[in-house]
Amino acid sequence: TVVEAEDGFEALNAFASDRPDVVILDYLMPRLSGLEVLKAIKQQEPSTFIVLLTGMSAETQSRLQGVQPGEVGDIPTASADLP
């Protein structure tokens, strides 16, 4: 089952009702950032696998500080690689 959310608050509500094994978030979600949603989900269910995506530059990604090891893996890409 795939569930979509328009913003971070909807994402948290969807997580609470559906309890998925995997969550995919955008760092720049409206109303509540993907990082804030990630932290809230990990407090509720530490075993949930979360993928946090962003189109931000490497410099901007430094804002991800405070995320615990194992919660976020970094796969850098260059925008030139995208179609």
Determine the pLDDT at residue 64. Answer: 59
The residue type of 36 is E
CA distances from 45 to 40, 56, 61, 75, 79 (A): 9, 27, 25, 24, 33
**Residue 83 binned pLDDT confidence (cut-offs 50, 70, 90):** very low
Task: Report yes or no: 8 and 33 within 8 Å, Cβ to Cβ.
Answer: yes
* pLDDT one-digit tens code per residue, 7-50: 999 999 999 999 998 999 988 889 998 889 999 999 999 889 88
Q: How far apart are CA 7 and CA 57, in angstroms?
A: 22
